[in-house]
Amino acid sequence: MKKIVLSGIRPTGQLHLGNYLGALQKFVRMQQEGIYDSFFFIADLHALTTQPDPALLHSNVRHIVAEYLAAGLDPDKSTIFVQSDVPEIPELYLLLNMHVGIGELMRTAAFKDKARKQLGITVSHDDDDNDVAREIIGNESNKRVNAGLLTYPTLMAVDILIQHADFVPVGKDQEQHLELTRRFARRFNSFYGVDYFKEPQNFNFGGKPVKVPGLDGSGKMGKSEGNCIYLVDEDKALRKKVMRAVTDAGPTEPNQPMAEPVENLFTLLRLVSTPDKVEFFTNAYNNCEIRYGDLKKEIAEDILKITAPIRERTKEIENDEQYLARVLKQGAEQARERAAKTLADVRGIMGITPFWK
């Protein structure tokens, strides 16, 4: 049997170039190889932890599904579904929560960071769990931190365990949640004396992970940082973004080390352009002949070669209601088949399967 790879994304906005080069492009390649059974889902239940506008949530789900398909994910080769279309997930979420401690959930870096931001309190990742709890509970605005935010790791664990995923590609910010998933699986197996849940591992595509820099001179590309190139950006808007990317005054001596913003531009160049173009601009920089305007124009045009076809295809798919409905219905049926079996097994293991049925 093939190993299972599972990945989900919260519908909080459009996909950007970092999403594509860092993960989506590799998913498409992996799909073509046919080595794994792949599950790709839209995590709309996870999005509820930040209480999004219902109309906007619906629109975002629709848009991301269209972008998935436009980028090359094939519903006949991969299972593509919306999280809330699998009702077995929230039920298993309830059952698994019975084996999860409040302290270990409060200990997660993601929860403490979100609590700090939402409540305006200072919470260190090294703080004692009880101190964190007292700060949150004692804060007059604590109603803004909902229980779903606290139990986010449990829901993520269920997404993974209900499909018996072997591999889950996650970034550094989600590694702690994946470790909790392994812990929950071990705890369940140990408590009931079974060898049921496997322990999923981070998925390694091979080679060095791709880190796509933003246009602001530092860090990586991200929606919250406002430094993104979106897959659906129109030509003019995209060119304008790239031309505004941060640079410096230029090298003053041959082979001068690059400042971080300039190195970021060359990283983008290496990701989207051909080796001869990379060599041309690298030589120009090392010889103090670089013109950043020309470099940015080249990067913009090469990015457009990637994103323009995806953008146009996304528009077509979003307008095809029947195709979208067919894809998501098929995906939900495939995802539920395995999920229903898992839930039935867990109910039986926990002793809550009705004996009168």
Catalytic member of 77, 198, 211, 220: 220
In terms of Cα–Cα distance, which of 175, 157, 154, 177 is closest to 165?
157
Q: Which of 77, 198, 223, 297 is catalytic?
A: 223
CA 44 to chain CA centroid, Å, is 12
Q: Is 114 an annotated catalytic residue?
A: yes
CA distance 293 to 84: 47
Residue 357 annotated in active site: no
CB 24 within 8 A of CB 310: no
Residue 114 · residue 73 · CB < 8 Å:
no
**Please, are residues 109 and 176 in contact by the beta-carbon 8 Å criterion?**
yes
Contact 3, 198 (CB under 8 A): no
The answer to whether 158 and 336 have CB atoms below 8 angstroms apart is no
Q: Is 33 exposed, middle or buried (0-12, 13-18, 19+ CB in 10 A)?
A: exposed
Beta strands in 170-212 (DSSP E): 201-202
Q: How many CB atoms lie within 10 A of CB 1?
A: 4
Which residue among 114, 236, 241, 277 is the active-site one?
114
Separation CA 71–CA 28 (nearest Å): 8
Active site residue 117: no
CA–CA separation, 29 vs 35, rounded Å?
A: 10
Beta strand pairing call for 201-202 and 37-42: unpaired
Q: What is the largest CA-CA distance in the chain?
A: 83
Distance CA 42, CA 83 (A): 6
Residue type, position 244, single letter: R
* Residue 352 burial (10 A CB sphere; 0-12, 13-18, 19+): exposed
CA distance 239 to 212: 17
Catalytic residue numbers, as ranges: 114, 220, 223
